[in-house]
Amino acid sequence: MDFNKAIYTPQEVAEMARVHPSTVLNWIASGKLYAIKLSERTYRIPLRAVIGLLEPESLTSSTINIDPAVKVEIPTGEAPDPKKVYA
């Protein structure tokens, strides 16, 4: 399947999966398909979620490796600076 967008509508995902759009909305409501809720009736589905639904074997795992030996200290009494690397 050719994925050429970063974000998809439920209608587009339904067409790719060959199901009714309400089925896609049910998948979203049940947690089977991750989606971003923009308003009461508007959802957008990221590419990774679409691939996970339609071609899960092609996904590589995305992990964050945390080294437990590294101690991170944020000085107390001040707000963390997002531009500063604390280590």
Structural domain includes residue 18 = yes
pLDDT digits over 27-57, tens only?
Answer: 999 999 999 999 999 999 999 999 999 998 8
Structural domain includes residue 16 = yes
Structural domain includes residue 83 = no
Domains held by the chain: number: 1
Given a contact cutoff of 8 angstroms between Cβ atoms, the answer to whether 46 and 7 are in contact is yes
Given a contact cutoff of 8 angstroms between Cβ atoms, the answer to whether 27 and 10 are in contact is no
Structural domain includes residue 52 = yes
Structural domain includes residue 74 = no
Q: What pLDDT is recorded for position 72?
A: 66
Structural domain includes residue 84 = no
Q: What pLDDT is recorded for position 21?
A: 96
Sequence-distant (6+) residues with CB within 8 A of 11 are: 21, 24
